[in-house]
A and B are shown apart, each in its own frame.
Chain A
């Protein structure tokens, strides 16, 4: 019984870039003059100097009417109201939690912005305040929505809907936020598992939650959440995780379509661990890109 060990040489390194047939856009780099005219509005990634609008990051231009932004290839997450995020609780404070969402400042979840167990909306009492750790403690993962953005750029979150809240069993994959495609829906129940593609680049893969019957008491639900996950579900989860890694290595955009396609392409590999091999990763990304091109030209 021997395990799998593979050591490749640097000369055998796989180049992960998948060629896209489409033309490259115009790139701007820091300090480059975008426009000399004054009738433009200064957006993210730009600044004005000597009556010139200049770029401050390296990326492509986005123009909405008169607003000009330069979007870099990657950066920390810049939150917008209504975004779905996955975050990790860093600290329990007075009447609020500090949450890491891959933004440049820690995000805040107010005690008043969560649904307390029992579900009904009620006044937050002193007891609630004292038992905040029972709801969420340090290290816990949550899914949430961006409620508002403070003036300094930090985010305020809320979980006041049944689909948000504490995440139980599963794995977290971290990618660059710019690789996440903005969609109407970021909760996906595909392949018999559930995937939350957070706008902030945190992706949560978990087994689909069982419908809880009404007469189950709270303790039983908690217990059921920690039951072992079956091998078949684990296999799917591992595949999805490795698919995402393959797409990210080739810097491809992530949404339910690309993940699903990559998953289908991965089925020719018998086991999920074969997909850790760089050649397999490139193969999957390449085939997915090919199919995506096909779909868009249709």
Chain B
């Protein structure tokens, strides 16, 4: 299968990373004061803001007695891409993204706890440089944690692709914009790494079933790596915001 040349002869990728190396992730919780929870996340040059409102009383049309209603909106700033976007949202792609985000977050949120309530998760992509969905899921998770909403576990998303190192197949983790644009497969996985469950899986382009396991495990490993980074950020945030208070109040 002659794919595009994504690996150099030294085994390095187009942006100089090793095949199993994530882009640099930097993040911060609680960037805004008005929402119940908010977070900012940078994954390489992809930058995403997430805000969470709720849980609050669900609007009458949406209310459900079984569990919380999760409402997501994915929006991209008009200056976020190389070529200017005309509309920040409302197009097919962002509607699809909103649905996919909802799928990932509903898998993680303990929805059964909050009947008749609603949680709004708003994602704003400030800069898109590949893997915008993953960055959105990761930022959204942090915002949910910041809002104190009960989750089963962290939900993390990661992409993986595949390239040829000579005649050996080599899976690539955390696909960047250049690699995305070069074509080739792109497997997006959103999972709860601590339980090992997969919340969402999407595959673009063709991938031979023989290589599926390899690419999939690389993506899952990426999710686990991301979880470690997010967990560290959450702990730092807790340590910073922690003030001495009498712990026992009951």
Selected contact of A27 from candidates B194, B238, B243, CB within 8 Å: B238
B238 to chain A, nearest CB (A): 5
The 8 A CB mask of A4-28 against B (1 = contact, 0 = none) is: 0000000000000100101011010
Size category of the binding interface on chain A? 35 or more
B104 at the interface (CB under 8 A from A): no
Most buried by A among B37, B152, B239, B243: B243
The reply to whether B147 and A74 contact each other, CB–CB distance below 8 Å, is yes
The reply to whether B234 and A75 contact each other, CB–CB distance below 8 Å, is no
Query: Which residues from A are CB-within-8-Å of B56?
Result: 76, 104-105
The reply to whether B148 and A72 contact each other, CB–CB distance below 8 Å, is yes
The reply to whether B247 and A56 contact each other, CB–CB distance below 8 Å, is no
Query: Which residues from A are CB-within-8-Å of B55?
Result: 76, 104
The reply to whether B57 and A56 contact each other, CB–CB distance below 8 Å, is no
B132 at the interface (CB under 8 A from A): no
The reply to whether B243 and A60 contact each other, CB–CB distance below 8 Å, is no
User: A29 and B234 in contact (CB under 8 A), knowing A56-B151, A76-B36, A253-B245?
Assistant: yes
Interchain CA distance A152-B243 in the complex, whole Å: 31
The reply to whether B150 and A62 contact each other, CB–CB distance below 8 Å, is no
The reply to whether B152 and A30 contact each other, CB–CB distance below 8 Å, is yes
The reply to whether B245 and A57 contact each other, CB–CB distance below 8 Å, is no
Chain B binding site: helix, strand, loop or mixed by DSSP? Answer: loop
Interchain CA distance A32-B36 in the complex, whole Å: 23
Selected contact of B149 from candidates A49, A71, A75, A182, CB within 8 Å: A75
Q: Tell me which of B2-10, B39-47, B111-119, B205-213 binds A.
A: B111-119
Selected contact of B242 from candidates A24, A45, A76, A181, CB within 8 Å: A24
A59 at the interface (CB under 8 A from B): yes
The 8 A CB mask of B74-116 against A (1 = contact, 0 = none) is: 0000000000000000000000000000000000001000111
Interchain CA distance A184-B113 in the complex, whole Å: 30
The reply to whether B152 and A31 contact each other, CB–CB distance below 8 Å, is yes
User: A31 and B194 in contact (CB under 8 A), knowing A75-B148, A75-B149?
Assistant: yes
Query: Which residues from B are CB-within-8-Å of A253?
Result: 243-245
Interface residues of A (CB under 8 A from B): 17, 20, 22, 24-25, 27, 29-32, 45, 47, 49, 54, 56-60, 62, 64, 71-76, 104-106, 152-153, 181-182, 251-253, 296
Interface residues of B (CB under 8 A from A): 36-37, 54-57, 110, 114-117, 145-154, 192, 194-195, 231, 234-235, 237-250
Q: A31-B151, A31-B154, A57-B145 are in contact. List 13 more A-B contacts (CB 8 A).
A: A20-B242, A25-B247, A27-B238, A57-B151, A58-B145, A74-B37, A76-B56, A104-B54, A104-B114, A181-B245, A251-B240, A251-B242, A251-B243
